[in-house]
Amino acid sequence: MRRILCMILMISLCNLGFTQQQQNQQQPQTFLTFEFMKVDNDQETFYTETEDFWEKIHEQRVASGDIVGWDLWRLLPGGEDQGYQYLTVTVFDDPLKMMNAGEGVIESAKMAYPDLSDEEIENRVNLAGGSRDLAVRLYLQVIDRTSPYYEMKEGMIAAMDLMKADYSNTEAYEKAEKETFKPWHQKMVDGGAKGEWQLIKVLVPQGTDVYASHLTVNFFDSWKHMLDSNSFDTGSSPEDQKKMSDGLKTRELKWTYLGVLEKMVRK
């Protein structure tokens, strides 16, 4: 299965095209693994303890260069009948590291908890599954973003829009995001109305039946920062508005999650 996923991933990367390769030469590539969690109300405490345990392991993984970072997001609305309650994001600078992320985890756990025996560590790692249901895993790449890069911090807010572009219309959708919507987001970033905007492509899974093919994510310092952004005037002309209206037709907005950054690990 891993070999098949790697083959799909390599094909997906090739399909990004020569233009994307030129962009990647100018800035570091960012790959992500999103894991959407379902956590029952009566498992909240257990799940929090589980992520506390894993946080120290991820610190070792960052120190070893296996990953660039790791985040834990609390999702809203978050009700048991409204999708997922938590999202973990693991950040990589190499697609091969992303696909081989499981390798070295036990070694990192041993470094994080030197006082625990090998058996205790394996039990704790295996016990993690009892605190939540890992419902969805996505492999992704950040293919565009505003600049300068935003300095993330715990307590910040992210608006995550799950988009689905028709399989035959992906190029038109990505062009609309980069050429029409990105300048609009950049004005808001430059004006202090948001921290950053990112366009993220789902590499795996792919196909006509996937729930989402892309995500756009907007970062804010706080709830107030996000709410105040609604009144920001970007000075869009009628021509700009027409382009945006046409751009909206290239994709379907499937769902929007609001996330609160609960934990993060970086160098």
Digit-coded pLDDT (tens) for 6-35: 444 444 444 444 444 444 445 689 999 999
Residue 26's pLDDT is: 58
Closest CA to 256 of 140, 132, 82, 91: 82
5 has pLDDT over 70: no
On whether the CB atoms of residues 54 and 128 are closer than 8 A, the answer is yes
Burial of 205 (0-12, 13-18, 19+ CB in 10 A): middle
Domain span at 186 = 2-265
C-alpha distances in angstroms, 234 versus 40, 70, 252?
A: 42, 33, 24
Work out the number of other CB atoms within 10 angstroms of the CB of residue 131.
Answer: 19
- More confident position, 264 or 15: 264
Work out the number of other CB atoms within 10 angstroms of the CB of residue 264.
Answer: 18
Measured in degrees and rounded to the nearest 5, phi and psi for residue 13 equal -65, -40
On whether the CB atoms of residues 226 and 159 are closer than 8 A, the answer is yes
Average pLDDT over every residue of 197-217: 96
Q: What is the pLDDT of residues 107-147, one digit of tens each?
A: 999 999 999 999 999 999 888 878 889 999 999 999 999 99
Residue 16's pLDDT is: 45
Work out the number of other CB atoms within 10 angstroms of the CB of residue 141.
Answer: 22
Average pLDDT over every residue of 97-102: 94
pLDDT above 70 covers a percentage of the chain that reads 90
Token readout for 262 is 């609960």
221 has pLDDT over 60: yes
The domain that contains 243 carries what CATH number? 3.30.70.100
> Per-residue DSSP letters for 46-57?
HHHHHHHHHHHH
Average pLDDT, the chain: 90
C-alpha distances in angstroms, 218 versus 52, 145, 157, 264?
A: 26, 10, 8, 17
58 has pLDDT over 50: yes
217 has pLDDT over 50: yes
- Which of 9-13, 36-40, 43-47 shows the lowest per-residue confidence on average (mean pLDDT)? 9-13
263 has pLDDT over 50: yes
Residue 14's pLDDT is: 45
Query: Confidence band (pLDDT; 50, 70, 90) for 82?
Result: confident
Query: Confidence band (pLDDT; 50, 70, 90) for 257?
Result: very high
Residue 41's pLDDT is: 86
Sign (positive or negative) of CA dihedral 166, 138, 258, 237: negative
Average pLDDT over every residue of 228-242: 93
C-alpha distances in angstroms, 124 versus 3, 53, 108, 130, 240?
A: 28, 8, 13, 10, 54
Give the C-alpha separation, 143 to 9, whole Å.
14
185 has pLDDT over 60: yes
Count of domains observed in the chain: 1
H-helix or E-strand spanning residue 31: strand 31-38
Residue 4 DSSP class? H
Average pLDDT over every residue of 241-248: 95
241 has pLDDT over 70: yes
Measured in degrees and rounded to the nearest 5, phi and psi for residue 151 equal -85, 110
